[in-house]
């Protein structure tokens, strides 16, 4: 008599037994309690579903800690706009804006040390997660920046194999680059290969002429061409560039200036969500301003008076002798400007929630300072949403630093087990 | 490793002499690296297939009129008539090689034969002996000689006989793997891909493993294994040699096997020890054998001094694994093929050097141990000194060059230390010296010694070994400081140094550095500050580089090439270099490449839709002639030079329709699309070529070609691609001559584009190009539409600056002390200047404004919404106008600020508190004084006479009288005593008068102009550039000297003359491949 196919059932049985043993539940209890056994099945099912995507949001210059940190649902003024997504967030207090590898606190001019282990080389957190989680995806990562003035940085912040990672300053261009014009066909794709071949030839000819320095840059150029060549070889074009989504409707165009930073933020958020939904990427990063927080929201009022100074100016304004009928006598301008950014942060979380992505995606907001007015590194505003982490909680991770946050995220995503993981830290805080 | 450039022989007109038959006496490769018609640079490589020879002589004869110009990598090269003779130092074994380079004039046909020590290379091996030249003891092996050259081969062969290989390793089918274990249970497999090996005719089997080829499927781990475990930069090879029974192997039948236990010599990481291996030898057939490990060969880390490396790597992993195994099993399968070519030599291992003797360790005070030994070897390439501390691990503390006999080791902990010294010949070690032991029970940290170590490690690069600075941007530290200034220096080091890695030196470190400076440099009388640097190099060399077009350059190029009408809006963003947009160091990545492709696709389609109007005139007849026109006439304009044959082929094959089903128009569109995203278009080439005719240039220098000069001049002076005249002069070669370059500069400086470029420069320099970053409070300025005013303020600066710079009679001082400005109607109304209306800018005389400092745009930019910002203004005056960078406030510097605000809450809220007083209060924390007490506040307070929207004032927004008394401390360099060098002033105009006289201000303008136009600069000696930092002092000095030249020209002649000089600077015309270390 043939044996039934026991292997399939046997594996599930073995997995369950392992889970039970790990939970410390005795066989006796398991036999006695259907509730316990049902719970164990449920836990195992939950463990099978994966959190494999991350969106990282940078908003510079911190916040006023005593007016930021609190319990979701009852948050103080600086973070109050997040109350509408209270069920989905974890508020993290106690983290110091510090890079432990270099041994330096963060702040103006030091944004690179937030995202990277050091000043040079390696991969930034967002790129590293993208390369690990999204290996094989059409876009290993997506990075957008809004009004990055690179005040003290001569090049980009995010790094890919030691070089600047590609960053989009225009969400429309990002959309177009991801989803294309929907005109790619096998015929046009075949013709594009000749272009790429010609470029490959030219870069190699240049390499033979140059010394080691430019060779490194040309190697990167070669890599970019080769990646395109591989993409053309593997994807003949189907008339739509959007992966599993075909050709979604294009974004509406709008000018890029200080007056449209809200639209830019929402546009980037929408593109990120769409790209993840279409399985095109697993990591997205948005730099909202630079490390001097030179962003200014239009239409902001303090009391009855319009206030349109930048977030940086607002942080140092100390009310300038003006009266205010809101809280925070010292910082009403900062509250007014910073809250606008927090509203956008809430939009991002809601977007991912409404698109059904929040259970598999972590949306992490970080900063490079605690109290931005005091240039203080303590108590950075950090909010983690989704991915099973954000669930109407707050924690105090006293003694932790910025890179412990990265590591904690990496562990949640399972990325720390990869040989490619940069090893931002070895401490988890949530 | 040197590279051999293979260039098509046909294109150079030089016959390429390939390798002669392997059985000939010598194989000579004679290759042209470049040929410029009247001369050529050649690389000649000689492989000796005969017996080992000392100091070989190679000679040949030309049939033409070649003449020797120069040579390198040879002991001597002489010419007698048509005969060239080259002598090399050292010995060359059988199978070994040597190479050298020469430059000749009038290159013609390659020689038909070469003589090695007087014997023709074509002589079959064994038919004649090579006459040896007189024996000289080679004191060292030249680094340019290939690695197969060695002193005494390990397997000694008598003079005149060849150590022929009986079997040669087939590295394509062989493998050598290792298994490492971490966390007790996690096993990982790695391998080595670069293997060499042989068995000689006497049965000596030799295996060489290139340890750099380690591959554990983890790039980070591989890199650490190379650097920390094997230390491959010093010890790149593993060797295993063992005597086999060759007769037995030869007698084996095909298909049979033999088990042998080998006891061979294993050389790894500076240790040579006998290591057993049990192997299975399989005779696959009469020409192939396989040697496979039956049992793994166990490599014990302690035995090979590898424990330290393993533990160090373990400490780097995150999370730190509980353990990494110290014993590594090695598995291998090596396949050998029988060798029938008697000229193919067996692999030689460099000979073992003699062990040093008389190692002695002296325990000096303060933890300094002095080691001495006697060098009794004559073939060492260096020494390695290892130390074992209380961890029990041996680690390298220093590797030394040959002939060294002493080392000082400064210890920081008490304990017992063992030392040994090993001589090295490449990766082959001597036996170690007997171990000497030192017990250190008293460590006295001598701050001066410790400070010296720190200074040399972290400060020398910017401040000089003599603490005299490197001119201008790198201040001298050799001026005595006492009291508060000494404390301020310590605080500055802790908070901000070294640049780019602030936080590396804590207070203890900083105190020792200051102690060292005090003891070493501050005992002399204070030197007088001298802005001038000594420039004695005959030529200042810039860097060979490729610069991505900026977005503006790309757009302008498209306008110039294809006509206006297409707005380029999908290019990757630009990078910044200091204050300026510059893509000099931008690196291509996939996303950017995608955007370039997208952009070129759109442009090509747009042009095709217009029937290529303005590109080629084919009367809409898109045939082969039209396609050829595109490539022959238009493509050179895109690439900014003539196309080479391969490029013509590539792009013609697109344009002629062969890739687009015969559709020529579609083909032309495809070619255009390809060219507009090609590196030839995207990069501005500043690469250069050798010019041996210019004997003033160093042998490793390059000169920009005429086409490259055309490109440089075009983008620098007109911000777009070269026009027809420039291209024509490039084609004729004229643009390598200084007078021709100057003529073109004069022409281009008359263009509107150059004026606009000067406007872009000044607005970038002062950051007034981002005036839209600053908002103004409508409550305070209810009738002001500041956004509408911004372009006018920017244009005011642009017109003022370009007018001054281009004025043949212009003076630098006017930049700061002008008594006029330019306004149009809207600006005049804002400034309260009567008599100006409309949009045209006109010059108006002023008393309370003028120049770039007392300027509406500058003052508005560095102000807050309601009141000015003295801090921002002061920081920008210092940073942008005096080139004295002020660091951002470090984190935690404001701790206590909230309490401070609480304490002063009432005074801050009092409307009678002035802006100046407010800033005094909020920066009064002790931790803030380092920067605010002298450097920032006194300067900024003197600029309170301009409000936040760029107008002079005497009353502030709350009705208080403005006090604009200020002091500019240390205007020359931080090293000056702040209190003794100070300029008092009242208001922006008075400060401008002072600025006009300052050498730092005079240097700062050309320094910024230099950086703007060249894409690199003096400042970049310390600033992070992507992932490297310029460290070559000679390069930084070259830029500093050219900047100094520009300053002299500006001050002694005019700013206009300085602009004319830009294009003929040494650093523009002459380049080197400066080293760029990665910063990992």
> Is A382:A370 a contact under the CB 8 Å cutoff?
no
Of B572, B772, B889, the CB nearest to A375: B889
Please say if the pLDDT value at position A185 is more than 60.
no
| Residue of B1026, B1032, B1074 to mutate when probing chain A, most A C-beta within 10 A | B1026
User: What pLDDT was estimated at residue B357?
Assistant: 92
List, as ranges, residues 842-881 from B with C-beta within 8 Å of A.
864-867
Taking all residues of chain B, what is their mean pLDDT, rounded to a whole number? 85
| A165·B589 Cβ contact <8 A | yes
| A166·B586 Cβ contact <8 A | no
The distance of A273 to chain B (nearest Cα, Å) reads 19
| B773·A419 Cβ contact <8 A | no
List, as ranges, residues 676-735 from B with C-beta within 8 Å of A.
677-680, 683, 687
Would you say the C-alpha torsion B667, B669, B671, B674 has a positive or negative sign? negative
Hey, is the C-beta of B316 within 8 angstroms of any chain A C-beta?
yes
pLDDT per residue as tens digits for the range A52-67: 999 999 999 999 898 9
Instruction: Please give the helix or strand (H or E) that residue B48 lies within, else none.
Output: strand B39-48
Of A106, A177, A305, the CB nearest to B594: A177
| A163·B647 Cβ contact <8 A | no
| A173·B591 Cβ contact <8 A | no
User: What pLDDT was estimated at residue B1022?
Assistant: 44
Please say if the pLDDT value at position A327 is more than 90.
no
| B890·A107 Cβ contact <8 A | yes
Dihedral class, residue B988 (left if φ above 0, else alpha if ψ from -120 to 50, else beta)? alpha
Taking all residues of chain A, what is their mean pLDDT, rounded to a whole number? 81
> Is B704:B697 a contact under the CB 8 Å cutoff?
no
Tokens representing B174 are 């062989």
Of B679, B770, B1024, the CB nearest to A154: B1024
Q: How is chain A split among helix, strand and coil, in percent rounded to 5?
A: 45, 15, 45
How far apart, in whole angstroms, are the C-alpha atoms of residue B313 and residue B818?
Answer: 63
Please say if the pLDDT value at position B751 is more than 80.
yes
Angle between helices B999-1014 and B1033-1052 (to 10 degrees): 120
pLDDT per residue as tens digits for the range B853-912: 999 999 999 998 889 999 999 999 999 999 988 877 766 666 667 677 778 878 888 889
DSSP label of B63: S
User: What pLDDT was estimated at residue A153?
Assistant: 37
Residue B977: closest CA among B580, B243, B490, B485: B485
Count of residues making up chain B = 1080
How far apart, in whole angstroms, are the C-alpha atoms of residue A257 and residue A236?
Answer: 37
Average pLDDT (B277-304) is 89
| A104·B673 Cβ contact <8 A | no
List, as ranges, residues 341-370 from A with C-beta within 8 Å of B.
369
pLDDT per residue as tens digits for the range B361-380: 988 766 788 899 999 888 88
pLDDT per residue as tens digits for the range B647-672: 999 999 999 999 999 999 999 999 99
Least confident of A231-240, B226-235, B709-718, B801-810: A231-240
Least confident of A359-373, B407-421, B813-827, B1016-1030: B1016-1030
The distance of B166 to chain A (nearest Cα, Å) reads 37
pLDDT per residue as tens digits for the range A16-32: 444 444 444 454 554 44
Band (B81; pLDDT cuts 50, 70, 90)? confident
User: What pLDDT was estimated at residue A155?
Assistant: 46
Strand partners, B17: B30
User: What pLDDT was estimated at residue B148?
Assistant: 31
> Is B1050:B814 a contact under the CB 8 Å cutoff?
no
Hey, is the C-beta of B508 within 8 angstroms of any chain A C-beta?
no
Residue holding tokens 């038909």?
A: B112
User: What pLDDT was estimated at residue A186?
Assistant: 58
φ, ψ dihedrals at B520, nearest 5°: -100, -40
Strongest mean pLDDT among B218-232, B532-546, B570-584: B532-546
Hey, is the C-beta of B480 within 8 angstroms of any chain A C-beta?
no
Q: First vs last Cα of chain B: how many Å apart? A: 22
Q: Which residue of B has its CA nearest to A169?
A: B573
User: What pLDDT was estimated at residue A91?
Assistant: 97
pLDDT per residue as tens digits for the range B1002-1061: 999 999 999 999 998 877 654 443 334 555 778 888 999 999 999 999 999 999 999 999
pTM given for the model: 0.65
Please say if the pLDDT value at position A151 is more than 80.
no
Least confident of B297-306, B709-718, B802-811: B297-306
User: What pLDDT was estimated at residue B457?
Assistant: 77
| A164·B587 Cβ contact <8 A | yes
How far apart, in whole angstroms, are the C-alpha atoms of residue B998 and residue B980?
Answer: 16
Band (A237; pLDDT cuts 50, 70, 90)? low
Please say if the pLDDT value at position B2 is more than 70.
no
The distance of A136 to chain B (nearest Cα, Å) reads 14
Tokens representing B883 are 């080139």
Around Cβ A195, how many Cβ atoms within 10 Å?
27
Beta-sheet strands, E only, within B795-926? 820-823, 842-845
Q: What percentage of chain A has pLDDT greater than the value 70? A: 79
Band (B505; pLDDT cuts 50, 70, 90)? confident
Residue B894: closest CA among A388, A227, A105, A186: A105
How far apart, in whole angstroms, are the C-alpha atoms of residue A319 and residue A336?
Answer: 11
Residue holding tokens 């040994």?
A: B420
Who contacts A238 (Cβ-Cβ below 8 Å, separation ≥6)?
A184, A185
> Is A418:B218 a contact under the CB 8 Å cutoff?
no
Please say if the pLDDT value at position B467 is more than 60.
yes
How far apart, in whole angstroms, are the C-alpha atoms of residue B339 and residue B168?
Answer: 6
User: What pLDDT was estimated at residue A289?
Assistant: 86
Beta-sheet strands, E only, within A305-406? 305-306, 361-366, 382-386, 393-396
| B220·A419 Cβ contact <8 A | yes
B14-19: long-range contacts at Cβ-Cβ below 8 A with a sequence spacing of 24 or more? B14/B40, B14/B107, B14/B108, B14/B109, B14/B110, B15/B109, B15/B110, B16/B110, B17/B110, B17/B111, B19/B47
Please say if the pLDDT value at position A279 is more than 70.
yes
How far apart, in whole angstroms, are the C-alpha atoms of residue B672 and residue B622?
Answer: 14
Band (A187; pLDDT cuts 50, 70, 90)? low
Hey, is the C-beta of B780 within 8 angstroms of any chain A C-beta?
no
Residue B94: closest CA among B276, B342, B260, B419: B342
Residue A144: closest CA among A310, A266, A62: A266
3-state secondary structure B489-533: HHHHHHHHCCCCCCCCCCHHHHHHHHHHHHHHHCCCCCCCCCCCC
| A216·B1076 Cβ contact <8 A | yes
Is the peptide bond preceding residue B361 cis, with omega within 30 degrees of 0?
no
How far apart, in whole angstroms, are the C-alpha atoms of residue B60 and residue B29?
Answer: 13
Band (B125; pLDDT cuts 50, 70, 90)? confident
Distance set, CA B985 to CA A363, B649, B816, B863, B871 (Å): 53, 68, 14, 20, 17
Distance set, CA B42 to CA B14, B27, B54, B434 (Å): 10, 16, 24, 50
Average pLDDT (A378-386) is 96
| Residue of B676, B866, B1027 to mutate when probing chain A, most A C-beta within 10 A | B1027
How far apart, in whole angstroms, are the C-alpha atoms of residue B235 and residue B224?
Answer: 14
Q: What percentage of chain B has pLDDT greater than the value 70? A: 88
| A199·B588 Cβ contact <8 A | no
Hey, is the C-beta of A229 within 8 angstroms of any chain B C-beta?
no
Tokens representing B274 are 């006998």
Strand partners, B685: B546
Of A145, A154, A199, the CB nearest to B1023: A154
Least confident of A86-100, A264-278, B515-529: B515-529
**ipTM confidence score:** 0.77
Q: Helix or strand or coil: residue B989?
A: helix
pLDDT per residue as tens digits for the range B969-1013: 888 766 545 656 789 999 999 999 999 999 999 999 999 999 999
| B1079·A119 Cβ contact <8 A | yes
Residue B574: closest CA among B558, B561, B560, B592: B592
DSSP string of B160-223, one letter each residue: T---BEEEEE-TTT-EEEEEEEETTTEEEEEEE--EEEEEETTSEEEEEEEGGGEE-S-HHHHH
**Strands A142-146, A283-288: pairing kind:** parallel
> Is A63:A78 a contact under the CB 8 Å cutoff?
yes
Band (B589; pLDDT cuts 50, 70, 90)? confident
CA angle A415, A418, A421 (to 5 degrees): 75
Please say if the pLDDT value at position B12 is more than 50.
no
Average pLDDT (A177-204) is 79
Please say if the pLDDT value at position B801 is more than 90.
yes
pLDDT per residue as tens digits for the range B24-37: 889 998 987 656 56
Q: What percentage of chain A has pLDDT greater than the value 90? A: 44
Of B591 and A285, the structure prediction assigns the larger pLDDT to A285
Who contacts B446 (Cβ-Cβ below 8 Å, separation ≥6)?
B366
The distance of A216 to chain B (nearest Cα, Å) reads 9
The distance of B955 to chain A (nearest Cα, Å) reads 17
Least confident of A57-66, B132-141, B612-621, B862-871: B132-141
Band (A106; pLDDT cuts 50, 70, 90)? confident
Who contacts B1022 (Cβ-Cβ below 8 Å, separation ≥6)?
B461, B462, B474, B498, B499, B500, B1029
How far apart, in whole angstroms, are the C-alpha atoms of residue B547 and residue B551?
Answer: 12
Of A39 and B1079, the structure prediction assigns the larger pLDDT to A39
> Is B639:B647 a contact under the CB 8 Å cutoff?
yes
Strongest mean pLDDT among B75-79, B214-218, B1067-1071: B1067-1071
Band (B914; pLDDT cuts 50, 70, 90)? very high
Tokens representing B464 are 């000089």
The distance of A242 to chain B (nearest Cα, Å) reads 15
How far apart, in whole angstroms, are the C-alpha atoms of residue B410 and residue B453?
Answer: 10
Around Cβ B912, how many Cβ atoms within 10 Å?
10
Residue A154: closest CA among B584, B1005, B1035: B584
The distance of A97 to chain B (nearest Cα, Å) reads 9
Band (B8; pLDDT cuts 50, 70, 90)? very low
Of A154 and A237, the structure prediction assigns the larger pLDDT to A237
Average pLDDT (B252-266) is 88
Q: What percentage of chain B has pLDDT greater than the value 90? A: 47
Question: Which class for B763: exposed (0-12), middle (13-18), buried (19 or more C-beta within 10 A)?
Answer: buried
DSSP label of B227: I
């Amino acid at each position: 008599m043939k044996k039934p196919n026991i292997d399939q059932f046997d594996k599930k049985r073995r997995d369950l037994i392992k889970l039970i043993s790990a939970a410390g539940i005795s066989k006796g209890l398991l036999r006695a309690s259907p509730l316990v056994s049902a719970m164990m099945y449920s836990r195992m099912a939950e463990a099978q579903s994966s959190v494999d995507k991350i969106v990282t949001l940078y908003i510079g210059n911190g916040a006023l800690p005593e007016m930021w940190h609190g319990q979701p649902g009852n948050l103080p003024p600086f973070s109050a706009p997040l109350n509408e997504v209270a069920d989905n967030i974890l508020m993290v207090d106690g983290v110091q804006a510090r890079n432990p590898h270099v041994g330096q606190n963060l702040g103006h001019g030091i944004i690179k040390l937030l995202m990277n282990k050091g000043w040079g080389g390696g991969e930034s957190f967002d790129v590293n997660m993208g390369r690990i989680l999204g290996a094989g995806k059409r876009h290993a990562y997506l990075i957008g920046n809004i009004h990055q003035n690179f005040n003290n940085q001569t090049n980009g912040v995010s790094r890919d194999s030691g070089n600047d990672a590609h960053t989009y300053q225009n969400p429309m261009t990002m959309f177009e680059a991801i989803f294309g014009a929907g005109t790619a066909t096998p015929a046009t794709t075949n013709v594009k290969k000749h272009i790429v071949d010609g470029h490959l030839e030219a870069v190699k000819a240049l390499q033979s002429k140059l010394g080691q320095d430019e060779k490194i840059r040309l190697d990167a150029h070669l890599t970019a061409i080769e990646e395109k060549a591989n993409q053309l070889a593997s994807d003949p074009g189907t008339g739509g560039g959007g992966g599993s989504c075909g050709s979604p409707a294009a974004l509406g165009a709008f000018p890029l200036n200080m007056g449209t930073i809200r639209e830019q933020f929402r546009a980037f958020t929408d593109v990120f969500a769409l790209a993840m939904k279409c399985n095109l990427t697993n990591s997205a990063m948005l730099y909202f301003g630079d490390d001097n927080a030179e962003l200014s929201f239009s239409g902001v009022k303090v009391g009855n008076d319009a206030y349109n100074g930048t977030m940086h100016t607002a942080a140092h304004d100390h009310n300038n002798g003006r009266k205010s009928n809101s809280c925070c006598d010292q910082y009403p301008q900062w509250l007014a400007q910073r809250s606008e950014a927090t509203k956008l942060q809430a939009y991002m979380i809601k977007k991912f929630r409404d698109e059904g992505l929040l259970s598999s995606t972590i949306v992490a907001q970080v900063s490079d300072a605690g109290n931005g007015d005091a240039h203080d590194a303590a108590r950075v505003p950090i909010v983690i949403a989704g991915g099973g982490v954000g669930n109407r909680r707050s924690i105090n991770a006293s003694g932790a630093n910025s890179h412990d946050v990265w590591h904690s995220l990496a562990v949640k995503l399972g990325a720390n087990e990869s040989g490619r993981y940069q090893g931002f830290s070895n401490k988890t805080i949530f | 490793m040197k590279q051999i450039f293979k260039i098509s022989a046909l294109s150079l007109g030089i016959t390429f002499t390939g390798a002669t038959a392997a059985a000939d006496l010598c194989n000579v490769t004679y290759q042209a690296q470049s040929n410029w018609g009247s001369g050529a640079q050649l690389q000649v490589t000689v492989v000796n297939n005969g017996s080992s020879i000392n100091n070989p002589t190679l000679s040949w004869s030309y049939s033409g009129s070649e003449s020797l110009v120069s040579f390198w990598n040879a002991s001597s090269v002489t010419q007698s008539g048509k005969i060239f003779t080259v002598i090399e130092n050292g010995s060359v074994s059988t199978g070994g090689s040597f190479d050298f380079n020469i430059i000749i004039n009038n290159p013609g046909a390659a020689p038909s034969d070469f003589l090695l020590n007087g014997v023709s290379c074509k002589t079959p091996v064994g038919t004649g002996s090579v006459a040896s030249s007189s024996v000289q003891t080679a004191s060292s092996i030249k680094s340019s000689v290939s690695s197969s050259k060695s002193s005494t081969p390990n397997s000694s062969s008598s003079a005149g006989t060849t150590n022929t290989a009986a079997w040669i390793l087939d590295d394509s089918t062989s493998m050598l793997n290792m298994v490492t274990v971490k966390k007790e249970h996690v096993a990982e497999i790695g391998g080595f891909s670069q293997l060499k090996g042989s068995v000689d005719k006497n049965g000596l089997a030799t295996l060489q493993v290139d340890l750099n080829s380690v591959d554990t499927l983890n790039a980070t781990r591989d890199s650490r294994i190379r650097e920390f475990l094997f230390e491959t930069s010093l010890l790149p090879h593993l060797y295993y040699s063992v005597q086999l029974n060759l007769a037995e192997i030869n007698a084996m039948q095909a298909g049979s096997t033999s088990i042998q236990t080998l006891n061979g010599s294993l050389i790894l990481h500076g240790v040579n020890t006998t290591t057993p291996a049990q192997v299975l030898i399989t005779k696959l057939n009469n020409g192939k054998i396989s040697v496979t490990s039956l049992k793994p060969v166990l490599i014990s880390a302690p035995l090979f001094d590898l424990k330290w490396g393993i533990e160090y790597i373990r400490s780097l992993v995150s999370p730190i694994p509980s353990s990494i195994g110290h014993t590594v099993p090695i598995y291998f399968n090596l396949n050998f093929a029988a060798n029938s070519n008697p000229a193919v030599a067996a692999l030689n291992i460099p000979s073992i050097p003699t062990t040093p003797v008389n190692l002695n360790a002296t325990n000096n005070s303060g933890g300094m141990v002095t080691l001495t030994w006697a060098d009794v070897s004559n073939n060492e390439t260096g020494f390695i000194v290892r130390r074992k501390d209380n961890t029990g691990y041996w680690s390298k503390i220093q590797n030394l060059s040959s002939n060294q006999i002493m080392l000082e080791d400064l210890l920081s902990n008490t304990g017992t230390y063992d030392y040994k010294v090993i001589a090295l010949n490449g990766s082959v070690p001597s036996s170690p010296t007997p171990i000497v032991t030192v017990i250190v029970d008293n460590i006295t940290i001598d701050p001066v010694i410790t400070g010296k170590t720190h200074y040399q490690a972290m400060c020398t690069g910017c401040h000089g070994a003599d603490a005299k600075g490197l001119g201008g941007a790198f201040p001298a530290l050799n001026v005595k400081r006492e009291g508060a200034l000494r404390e301020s220096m310590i605080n500055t080091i802790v908070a901000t140094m070294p640049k780019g890695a602030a936080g590396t030196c804590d207070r203890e470190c900083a105190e020792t550095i200051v102690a060292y400076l005090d003891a070493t440099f501050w005992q002399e009388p204070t030197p007088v500050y001298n802005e001038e640097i000594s420039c004695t190099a005959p030529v200042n060399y810039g860097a060979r580089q490729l610069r991505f077009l900026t977005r503006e350059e790309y757009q302008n190029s498209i306008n110039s090439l294809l006509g206006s009408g297409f707005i380029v809006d999908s290019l990757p963003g630009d990078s910044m270099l200091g204050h300026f947009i510059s893509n000099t160091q931008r690196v291509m990545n996939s996303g950017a490449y995608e955007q370039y492709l997208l952009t070129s696709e759109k442009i090509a389609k747009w042009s095709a839709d217009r029937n290529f109007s303005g590109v080629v005139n084919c009367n809409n007849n898109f045939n082969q002639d039209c396609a050829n026109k595109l490539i022959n006439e238009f493509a050179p304009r895109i690439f900014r030079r003539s196309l080479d044959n391969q490029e013509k082929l590539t792009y013609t094959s697109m344009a002629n329709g062969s890739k687009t089903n015969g559709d020529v128009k579609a083909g032309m569109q495809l070619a255009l699309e390809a060219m507009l995203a090609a590196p030839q278009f995207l990069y501005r080439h500043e690469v250069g070529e050798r010019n041996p005719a210019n004997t003033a240039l160093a042998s490793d220098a390059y000169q920009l070609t005429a086409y490259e000069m055309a490109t440089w001049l075009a983008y620098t002076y007109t911000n777009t691609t070269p026009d027809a005249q420039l291209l024509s002069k490039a084609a004729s070669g004229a643009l390598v001559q200084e007078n021709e370059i100057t003529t073109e500069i004069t022409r281009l400086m008359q263009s509107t584009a150059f004026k606009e470029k000067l406007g872009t420069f000044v607005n970038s320099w002062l950051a007034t190009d981002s005036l839209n970053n600053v908002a103004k409070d409508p409550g305070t300025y209810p009738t002001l539409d500041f956004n509408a005013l911004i372009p006018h303020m920017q244009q005011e600066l642009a017109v003022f600056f370009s007018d001054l710079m281009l004025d043949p009679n212009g003076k630098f001082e006017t930049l700061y002390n002008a008594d006029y400005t330019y306004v149009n109607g809207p600006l005049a109304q804002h400034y309260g200047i009567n008599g100006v209306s409309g949009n045209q800018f006109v010059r108006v005389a002023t008393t309370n404004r003028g120049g770039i400092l007392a300027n509406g745009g500058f003052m508005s930019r560095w102000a807050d919404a309601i009141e000015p910002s003295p801090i921002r203004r002061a920081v920008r005056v210092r940073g942008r106008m005096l080139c004295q960078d002020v660091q951002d406030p470090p984190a935690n510097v404001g701790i206590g600020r909230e309490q401070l605000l609480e304490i002063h809450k009432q005074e801050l809220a009092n409307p009678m508190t002035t802006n100046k007083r407010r800033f005094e209060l909020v920066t009064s924390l002790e931790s803030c004084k380092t920067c605010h007490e002298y450097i920032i506040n006194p300067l900024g307070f003197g600029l309170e006479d301009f409000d936040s929207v760029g107008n002079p004032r005497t009353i502030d927004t709350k009705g208080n009288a403005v006090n604009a008394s200020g002091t500019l401390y240390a205007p020359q360099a931080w090293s000056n005593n702040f209190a003794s060098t100070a300029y008092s002033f009242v208001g922006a105009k008075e400060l401008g008068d002072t600025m006009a006289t300052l050498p730092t201000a005079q240097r700062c303008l050309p320094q910024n102009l230099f950086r703007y136009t060249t894409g690199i600069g003096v400042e970049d000696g310390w600033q992070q550039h992507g992932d490297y930092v310029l460290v070559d002092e000679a390069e930084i000095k070259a830029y500093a000297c050219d900047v100094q030249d520009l300053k002299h020209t500006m001050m002694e002649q005019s700013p206009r003359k300085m602009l004319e000089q830009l294009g003929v600077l040494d650093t523009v015309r002459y380049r080197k491949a400066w080293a760029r270390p990665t910063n990992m």
